[in-house]
Amino acid sequence: MNSLRLKAIVQKEFYHLIRDYRSLYLAFAIPLILIILFGYALSLDVDHIKTVVIDYDKSWQSRDFTTKLNASPYFDVVAELDSSRQVADYIDHDRASVAIHIPPDFMKNVRADREAQMQIIIDGSDPIFAGAVRGYLTAFAELYNSKLLLSFLNRQGQATIKTPVEGRIRIWFNEDLESRNFIIPGIIAIIIMIVGAMLTSLVIAREYEDGTMETIKSLPVHAGELLLGKSIPYFFIGLANVLIAMLLGQLLFGIVLKGNFWLMLIATSLYLICALSLGLFISSVTKSQLIANQAAIMFTYLPSLLLSNFVFPIINMPQALQWITYVVPARYYIDILVGLYLRDTGLTYLGPNMIVLGVMCVVMTGLNYVLLKKEGL
Amino acid sequence: MNWPRIRELVRKEFIQLLRDKRNRAVLFVAPIIQMLVFGYVVNYDIRTIRVAVIDYSRTVESRKLMDAFEGSRIFSITHYLNDEKKFEDLLIRGSVDMGIKIPQDFASVIRRGQTAPLQIVADGSMSNMASLRMAYTTSVLEQFNRGMLRELYPQQMKYGRIDMRIRTWYNPNLESQHFFVPGIVAFVIMLISLLLTSIAIIREKEAGTMEQIIVTPLKSYEFILGKTIPYTIISLLQLIVVIIVATYWFEIPLVGSVSLLFFSACLFLLSTLGIGLFISTISRTQQQAMMMTFFFILPFFMLSGFVFPIANMPEVVQWLSYLNPLRYFLVILRGIFLKGVGLDVLWPQCLSLAILGTVVFWGAIVRFKKRLD
Amino acid sequence: MTLSPSESISVSQLEKKFGKFVAVNKITFSVKKGEIFGFLGSNGSGKSTTIRMLCGIITPTSGTGMVAGYDITTQTEEIKQSIGYMSQKFSLYEDLTPYENVRFYLGIYNVPQDQWPQRIDWILNMTHLQDVRHRLTRELPPGWRQRLALGCALLHRPQILFLDEPTSGVDPVTRQHFWSFIRRLAADGVTVFVTTHYMDEALFCERLVMINAGSIVASGSPSEIIAQACPDKPDADLNDAFVSLMKRMPD
């Protein structure tokens, strides 16, 4: 490896980048947009579910029910309607997601120790949301029923009966249960894929298309030098992006790295190198910017978004897809990010993930090297 | 309108696009793959909750508690532990979603009619899942409570309680896929039409063939048509492919009118092609075009109501989403696929798409003409 | 401004400024029909800008011009239909075959479809590309590509042919064939407006104009120019004339 030649290659690549200032702006603008978008606009947490209640009973019991429902952080009773005909209006216009009908003989039934039915309508348009709503409703009903049972028993003369078991739930990692806290760190993985893989996926293909690859092949340039030279500028841009993203996450959203900064740096570098190698690989194989473009989106960006446990849980996926996630570098990196940002874990936990990333780096680099050598470098 | 000219332009574009075998493959295979992956990935239903338990009590009662959890189809006790350290470790590693510590005096406290606190630790990393898990936990605990109370006080146990009959409107089976697959259709179409249009124009610039085009009597609107028509056709072809996957593989019902679907797709394409055109005027290289495409697609995608409900977003963002063509197209798609509604219901969305599309396309053309001259 | 019937191009006081920079400084010249006209100048002399104005690609800052009977400011569409242009850098579609390229430009130039089969054959035969009509253009040697570019510039039978350094990078034999072809075209009445750096080729031109720093420094037949530029050098050639003229500042 000749350091002078290497320097020349790196310099040329830097010139390309800087002269192509639009790409450079975008390379920084996109991560910024992502963080702001995901941070402010997106929330996966389901709470303050807009509920309307149609209370035909208007009794103490029905009031009690409604009040307790409203007191729950999950439900927000936004209106009490007089008739169920208004329900469709509320639901169709997204002013409510749940409508609860309290029947006219609600309290009477409860007092008479009978079952009191409630008709509930959930807006199923968004099944994720609806599923969660259902879960919370059921939990609330169970809680309420237990309270009813207790008061029943109390009335029977067992005045001092208490609930047998009380769950003291403590949340570890992400105590305030904000989806933002795991989304923002995860974005870093996506940013790296965009900057590291998608950008580099064009660089070698472009040289093939311009015909300059021919020239390069005729020069005394080694495959290793070319790979390294092409990667270095993007490595630094990627790293800069990560640092900016981390800073933004902290300044705008208060999301702080709990783990060791150096571990973060090392893990990020490993993942970056994976991304870069992946991009260069796509570039060398396709030799066409048009195809490299689409291949990059399919094989770098989408997997990092969909198959990495970023927002879509891997354990919910069919087996076949779960197996595929094992070869997605983003999966391991996101695991590391969760460990560093949310769980404050150490090397024993992060180690295996980093090793896998390391292995992927070596494999990808090796592939790239072989590919270039085959081309005559 | 010089049709032979435009026809030749379109023909040339198709030759260039479809000549490379790989391109053909990517154009029609990629959407299928994307459909399949997206279709199976987006799923937040809780299938299992993995629990680790330390039972300090080891009594019939604690056994009953664990059975209550196991008895629900969702919870699965994967680890029975003695060791606090291992308990923590499992949580940190993410090997379990929840940990329960049953205190030593569990049984005696309950039998005395007092409340036994149950230490539960939940992994909050994925907060939306965690919240739901807690809800399920509450349900199980309360059922256990009532069962326990029944045991302790076996009197006539017909007490007044509420019975929730839950009905879901629209999508009664809460099939995630029914909800998402129409959205994926939109996304796939958007990506291609946006990306390819902008790149197509820039490639002429980069290859230098614009030089020759400029000296011909070709008018700029003819050039634009020659570039946008091929990608409209390709996008519509992809639409067909993607609809086939949706209906045959995912078995999404297609209840509504197919012609309305294609009509609204064309309206949608007005916007995306316009944006692609616009991108081609602000980019000089294919790399820039690609990055720019991304710059636009990400917010459009995120803020369209595709995966993340718009209603959950801050006011400002909700207002902005009115400028997002994907938002309207999504409503139309879901309407046509799932509800089978027609133009009488969907006309606001179609109108919005038409207006948005016309404005964007017109603006792009104006800008394009200025650049060309 | 009107063209006299024997002229195909005529410009008067043609000027083009880019901001403060004067690229073309009020030049005046004319070209006869069927003439082989040479437009010489070093790089950056205003050559390309002038050609672009004549082709109707850019509008002059001031001055007038007529090409093929049309005004270069107001009738650019018509001009484009009447001229053929071959650029310095190859600008046809490399991922199309010669056949596909010709067909494409036939459509662009609005040649009536019923004439296409004969036109296509004519062009491919003329450029000796019939045997490779279905090979990708990028696979053809540079000289052949040049021929294709020439063919595509002629397929709509233009009155005037603009050639921007048409023979750069081409071997001497092919160059000779090229020029005999040009001469045949001119004999058929096509005006050929050519720029070149090859002085031996410039000798083929009936008349020349030399431009430097936006202004014309010499015009006339090659021998006239040589006599004008190097009066004291009896066996001077066009090369010497060119060098000597480019050194001089225009008055």
Q: Using one digit for the tens of pLDDT, what is the confidence trace for B28-58?
A: 888 888 888 888 887 767 778 999 999 998 9
Give percent above pLDDT 90 in chain A: 31
Give percent above pLDDT 90 in chain C: 40
A27 vs B355 pLDDT, higher one: B355
In a domain, C2, yes or no: no
Verify whether the Cβ–Cβ distance C108 to B16 is below 8 Å.
no
Measured between CB atoms, which of B15, B208, B215 is closest to C96? B15
pLDDT for residue A7: 85
CB proximity under 8 Å: B 214-253 to C? 214-219
pLDDT at B372 over 60: no
The Cα C104–Cα C110 span in angstroms is 10
In a domain, C211, yes or no: yes
Q: What does the block give as tokens for B125?
A: 């990393």
Residues of B in contact with C56 (CB under 8 A): 215
Residues of B in contact with A172 (CB under 8 A): 91, 121-124
pLDDT digits (tens, 9 = 90+) for A91-145: 877 788 899 999 998 888 888 878 888 899 988 777 778 888 989 999 999 999 8
Q: Give how many domains chain C has, as a whole number.
A: 1
| Average pLDDT, integer, range A304-331 | 89
Measured between CB atoms, which of B138, B160, B179 is closest to A148? B160
| Average pLDDT, integer, range A73-95 | 85
| Average pLDDT, integer, range C12-20 | 91
pLDDT at A160 over 80: no
Give percent above pLDDT 90 in chain B: 24
Q: pLDDT-derived band of residue B171, with 50, 70 and 90 as boundaries?
A: low
Measured between CB atoms, which of C77, C96, C113 is closest to B12? C96
Q: How far is A91 from chain B, CA to nearest CA, in Å?
A: 9
Which of the 8 DSSP states describes residue B208? T
In a domain, C100, yes or no: yes
Measured between CB atoms, which of C80, C107, C152 is closest to B4? C107
Measured between CB atoms, which of C78, C109, C113 is closest to B216? C109
Q: How far is C28 from chain B, CA to nearest CA, in Å?
A: 23
| Average pLDDT, integer, range B236-248 | 90
pLDDT digits (tens, 9 = 90+) for C31-69: 999 999 999 887 778 888 898 899 888 889 999 999 999
In a domain, C58, yes or no: yes
In a domain, C203, yes or no: yes
Q: How far is A269 from chain B, CA to nearest CA, in Å?
A: 22
pLDDT for residue B67: 92
Taking all residues of chain B, what is their mean pLDDT, rounded to a whole number?
85
pLDDT for residue C10: 92
Residues 6+ apart with CB under 8 A from A10: A228, A229, A232, A233
Measured between CB atoms, which of C78, C83, C91 is closest to B211? C91
Q: Give kind and range of the element (H or E) at residue B49.
A: strand B49-55
Is residue A78 a contact partner of residue A50, using CB atoms and an 8 Å limit?
yes
pLDDT for residue B373: 53
Q: How far is B203 from chain C, CA to nearest CA, in Å?
A: 11
Interface test with C, best of B216, B218, B219 (most C CBs within 10 A): B216
Give percent above pLDDT 70 in chain A: 99
Residues of A in contact with B132 (CB under 8 A): 46, 131-132, 135-136
- C191-195 and C160-164 as β-strands: parallel, antiparallel, unpaired? parallel
Q: How far is B86 from chain A, CA to nearest CA, in Å?
A: 13
Chain A and chain B share a number of CB contacts under 8 A equal to: 361
pLDDT for residue C152: 93
Closest Cα partner for C79 from C60, C102, C101, C103? C60
pLDDT at A223 over 60: yes
Backbone φ and ψ of C243, nearest 5°: -60, -45
Q: 3-state class of B93 per DSSP?
A: helix
> Poorest-confidence range of A175-189, A361-375, C234-248?
C234-248
Max avg pLDDT among A151-165, B119-133, B308-322: B119-133
Q: How far is A354 from chain B, CA to nearest CA, in Å?
A: 14
pLDDT for residue A29: 86
Measured between CB atoms, which of C80, C89, C152 is closest to B217? C80
pLDDT for residue C15: 92
Measured between CB atoms, which of B23, B129, B137 is closest to A290? B23
> Poorest-confidence range of A149-163, A327-341, A352-366, C5-19?
A149-163
| Average pLDDT, integer, range A196-213 | 85
Query: What domains are defined for chain A?
Result: 3-42+178-374 (no CATH), 49-155 (3.40.1710.10)
Q: How far is C92 from chain B, CA to nearest CA, in Å?
A: 6
Half-sphere exposure of A150 (CA within 13 A, CB side): 18
Residues of B in contact with A46 (CB under 8 A): 128, 131-132
Verify whether the Cβ–Cβ distance A293 to B286 is below 8 Å.
yes
In a domain, C48, yes or no: yes
pLDDT for residue B54: 92
In a domain, C1, yes or no: no
Residue of C nearest to B210 (CA): C91
Verify whether the Cβ–Cβ distance C93 to B214 is below 8 Å.
no
Q: Is the pTM of this model over 0.90?
A: no
> Poorest-confidence range of A90-99, B95-104, B272-281?
A90-99
- List Cβ<8 Å contacts ≥24 apart for C110-117: C110/B2, C110/B4, C110/B5, C110/B217, C110/C81, C110/C156, C111/C155, C111/C156, C113/B4
Verify whether the Cβ–Cβ distance A338 to B175 is below 8 Å.
no
Residues of B in contact with C100 (CB under 8 A): 12, 15
pLDDT digits (tens, 9 = 90+) for B172-212: 666 667 777 888 888 888 888 888 888 888 888 888 888 88
pLDDT for residue B337: 81
Residue of A nearest to B43 (CA): A316
A178 vs B12 pLDDT, higher one: B12
- C70-71 and C62-67 as β-strands: parallel, antiparallel, unpaired? antiparallel
Residues of C in contact with B19 (CB under 8 A): 95
pLDDT at C251 over 70: no
In a domain, C216, yes or no: yes
> Poorest-confidence range of A105-114, A152-161, A346-355, B283-292?
A152-161
**C contact set with B (CB within 8 A):** 55-57, 77-78, 80-81, 83, 85, 87, 89-96, 100, 103-110, 113, 152, 162
Cα–Cα distance list, B45 to A157, A314, A325, B182, C171 (Å): 43, 12, 19, 19, 72
pLDDT for residue C213: 86
B296 vs C118 pLDDT, higher one: C118
Residue of A nearest to B311 (CA): A94
Give the range of the structural domain holding residue C195, as residue numbers without chain letter.
7-247
pLDDT for residue C231: 80
Q: Could you write out the three-class secondary structure of chain A?
A: CCHHHHHHHHHHHHHHHHHCHHHHHHHHHHHHHHHHHHHHHCCCCCCCEEEEEEECCCCHHHHHHHHHHHHCCCEEEEEEECCCHHHHHHHHCCCCCEEEEECCCHHHHHHCCCEEEEEEEEECCCHHHHHHHHHHHHHHHHHHHHHHHHHHHHHCCCCCCCCCEEEEEEEECCCCCCCHHHHHHHHHHHHHHHHHHHHHHHHHHHHHHHCHHHHHHHCCCCHHHHHHHHHHHHHHHHHHHHHHHHHHHHHHHCCCCCCCHHHHHHHHHHHHHHHHHHHHHHHHHHCCHHHHHHHHHHHHHHHHHHCCCCCCCHHHCCHHHHHHHCCCHHHHHHHHHHHHHHHCCCHHHHHHHHHHHHHHHHHHHHHHHHHHHHHCC
Global ipTM: 0.83
Q: pLDDT-derived band of residue A158, with 50, 70 and 90 as boundaries?
A: low
- CATH code, C43: 3.40.50.300
Q: How far is A360 from chain B, CA to nearest CA, in Å?
A: 22
Verify whether the Cβ–Cβ distance A38 to B160 is below 8 Å.
no
pLDDT at A351 over 70: yes
